[in-house]
Amino acid sequence: MSTSTTRSPAPEQETSMTQRTAARSAAQAPPTGGAVGLRVSGVDKVYPTRRGEVHALSGIDLDVARGEFVSLVGRSGCGKTTLLRILSGLLAPSAGLVEAGGRPAWSAGRRDDAVFAEFGLVFQEANLFPWFTVTDNVALPLKLRGMPRAERRARAVELCATVGLAGFEDSYPRELSGGMRQRAAIARALACDPSVLLMDEPFGALDALTRDRMNLELQQIHAVSGATVVFVTHSIPEAVFLADRVVLLTPRPGRIRSVTPVDLPRPRSAATETTPEFGALVAGLRTELDRED
């Protein structure tokens, strides 16, 4: 008869486990030296339904540094869009804390409009008003804030140039391609100089070539604006190409499975995707997803 014994980890094994835990914690936090732009602590989201509660998010903890670009990836139904909607003020968390620039964004289920006034939001659809020109669509947030017409038009024209729409300021949405409409939507989101830019699969409906072009444009826009960006996508290569860190969420309830730093030099070009470093990051994230099958 054999007797099994439980062995304590060897000192070197304990050290290794401690190092891995420390590495995971370090990845969860923003890069050293950066002030926190967004903080999510213990966030849960539960939806009541006729068949009972649906637990969409559970125990989300994440700090995003000011000016950092973070991509959220995961399978459909993992809560990426739910998390983004909580960050944008469109949806209240069931539990937990959301802070922007050190200020609570939600209190007792109510949003602080002053906090969210500094946010810009871009959806998968451009959602432009068809009866407005590009300039009028881009300037709309400024009009709602009472900025004089001449000033808001000048700002809109400047933003059109920033996103590559110079010469199309007086065009209507129906006269633009899908990529150009998304450029206008991004320009509108940037109109009020947001400190935080939240993007929910903004290029998901575009063809591959246009999408690649928009990724290059977005990288430049981020560099110029300096905004903190949280970007939802189903594309792992897109997430890696754009981000400083990639956050992988598990299927429902959505939890943070891993946070992967992307230490690729900027600015990044199409050639970046051919490098071994880029390929290794993409392959590693795909392996993480495959483990869920």
Mean pLDDT of 282-293: 85
Per 3-state DSSP, what percentage of the chain is helix, strand, and coil (rounded to 5)?
40, 25, 35
Q: pLDDT band for position 117 (50/70/90)?
A: confident
Number of domains forming the structure of the chain: 1
Q: Which residue has the higher pLDDT, 137 or 12?
A: 137
Smallest CA-to-CA distance from 74 within 274, 263, 286 is with 286
Q: Determine the pLDDT at residue 21.
A: 37
Token pair for 120: 């810009």
**pLDDT tens string 197-252:** 999 999 888 888 888 988 998 998 899 889 999 999 999 999 999 999 999 999 88
Residues sharing a CB contact under 8 Å with residue 171, sequence separation 6 or more, in sequence order: 133, 134
Asked if residue 254 belongs to a domain, the reply is yes
Rg of the chain's alpha carbons, rounded to an integer? 21
Residue 281 belongs to what domain range? 34-118+231-293
Residue 289 CA, distance from chain mean position: 19
What's 46's domain CATH number? Answer: 3.40.50.300
Asked if omega into 253 is within 30° of 0 (cis), the reply is yes
Has residue 34 got a pLDDT over 70? no
The answer as to whether 52 is a domain residue is yes
d(CA 99, CA 103) in angstroms, rounded, equals 5
- Residue 241 counted as domain residue: yes
What pLDDT is recorded for position 27?
47
Q: Using DSSP bridges, classify how beta strands 256-261 and 245-249 pair: parallel, antiparallel or unpaired.
A: antiparallel
- Answer yes or no: is 142 within a domain: no
End-to-end CA distance of the chain: 39
Domain-located, residue 11: no
Q: Determine which helix (DSSP H) or strand (DSSP E) holds 245, and give its type and residue range.
A: strand 245-249
Predicted model pTM:
0.84
Look at residue 23 and tell me if it is in a domain.
no
Q: Is 33 left (phi over 0), alpha (psi -120 to 50) or beta?
A: left
Q: What is the mean pLDDT of residues 185-190?
A: 92
**pLDDT given for residue 266 in this prediction:** 93
Q: How many angstroms separate the CA atoms of 211 and 166, rounded?
A: 19
pLDDT at residue number 292: 66
- Whether 200 is in a domain gets the answer no
Q: Tell me the per-residue pLDDT of 41-90, one tens digit each, with 9 for 90 and over.
A: 999 999 888 887 888 999 999 999 999 999 999 988 888 999 999 999 99
Q: Mean pLDDT for the chain?
A: 86
Reported as a pLDDT band with limits 50, 70 and 90, residue 162 is: confident
Binning pLDDT at 50, 70 and 90, where does residue 149 land? Answer: very high
* Interior angle at CA 274, CA 268 and CA 279, nearest 5: 95
- pLDDT number for residue 125: 87
Please say whether the beta carbons of 83 and 24 come within 8 A. Answer: no
What is the per-residue pLDDT for 16? 42
d(CA 245, CA 3): 47
Angle at 215 between CA 213 and CA 216, to 5 degrees: 65
- What percent of the chain has a predicted confidence (pLDDT) above 70? 88
pLDDT in tens, 92-108: 999 999 999 888 988 87
Residue 146 has pLDDT above 80, yes or no: yes
Query: CA-based diameter of the chain, in Å?
Result: 90
Name the percent of the chain lying above pLDDT 90. 58
Residue 15 falls inside a structural domain: no
